[in-house]
Chain A
Amino acid sequence: DAKTTQPTSMDCAEGRAANLPCNHSTISGNEYVYWYRQIHSQGPQYIIHGLKNNETNEMASLIITEDRKSSTLILPHATLRDTAVYYCIVRVDDGANNLFFGTGTRLTVIP
C-alpha cells in the first residue's frame, strides 16, 4: 500500500478555506485517495475520495495533482465544528480491502 505523509497539525481561521495537504508519492495507478475525519472522541467519518479527477461533495473538495503524488482536501468555509483530525488514506478500491489509518492532521479552526 502507498504510504501517506501529512502535517501533524494546522490552524485555520473560521470562515476561511482550510487546505489540508497529503503526500503519497508511491501511489499506484489503481489506488484511490480517501479522506476521513475524526471529531473528538467520535468514530471517524468519511469525507470524500477520488482516483485522479478532482472531486467535490457537500462536505469538501479533493484536488489531486496530475502525477497523483499529492492531494489537497479543501474545506471551503471552515467552521468551529470542522475542528478534527483528518486522515488521508490511499487504498485500492476493492471493497474487501482494509483501511489503515495513520495519525492524520489535527486541524484547529480558530474563531
Chain B
Amino acid sequence: NAGVTQTPKFQVLKTGQSMTLQCAQDMNHEYMSWYRQDPGMGLRLIHYSVGAGITDQGEVPNGYNVSRSTTEDFPLRLLSAAPSQTSVYFCASKRTNPPGANVLTFGAGSRLTVL
C-alpha cells in the first residue's frame, strides 16, 4: 500500500495565482484532513472530511477550498495565493468505521512558497 500520497512535493507560486494540492489515500479511510505547519509551530487544521461529499472547516480555513467527490481523494485548492500561505501542508487520513483509535496516517508533505 502507498498510504497517503501528496503532490506536488514542492511548489512556488506568485501572489494571486491559484493551485491545487493533491492528496490520495489507498486505505479506504473515511476521514481525511489537511494541516499546515509554519516554522516553529505545530500543525493547524485547515479542512477535514468524514466521508465522500462531506467537508467541514478546521481552525484556519480562510483562503482554502476543499472537495471530497471520492473516498480516495481530498484536494486542497488555493484560489488566490498570498505570501501568508507559504507553509508546509500535510494531508492525513484515518479509519472511522468501525469506530477506532484516532490514528492518523500522514503524507510526506507539500512545501509551498508564495512570492
Contacts and interface: CB of A to CB of B under 8 A. Distances in A.
A98 B45 contact: yes
Contacts of A104: 42
Interface string A67-111: 000000000000000000001010101111111111110000000
B101 A99 contact: no
A87 B31 CA distance: 21
Interface stretch (B11-19, B61-69, B77-85, B87-95): B87-95
Interface string B84-115: 00001010101111011111111111000000
B102 A91 contact: yes
Nearest to A46: B103
B88 to A, nearest CB: 8
Contacts of A96: 31, 50, 96
Contacts of B106: 43-45
Size bin of chain B's contact surface = 20 to 34
A95 B95 contact: yes
A101 B96 contact: no
Contact of A98 (B48, B99, B101): B48
B99 A43 contact: no
Nearest to B50: A96
Given A101-B43, A103-B41, A103-B42, A95 B102 contact: yes
Given A87-B42, A98-B48, A101-B43, A42 B108 contact: yes
28 contacts: A34-B101, A34-B102, A42-B108, A43-B107, A43-B108, A43-B109, A44-B106, A46-B103, A46-B104, A49-B101, A49-B102, A93-B99, A93-B100, A94-B99, A95-B95, A95-B96, A95-B100, A96-B50, A96-B96, A97-B102, A98-B45, A98-B58, A99-B102, A100-B59, A101-B35, A101-B43, A103-B41, A103-B42
Given A43-B4, A99-B102, A103-B41, 11 more contacts: A34-B101, A41-B88, A42-B109, A45-B106, A46-B104, A93-B102, A95-B99, A96-B96, A98-B58, A100-B45, A101-B43
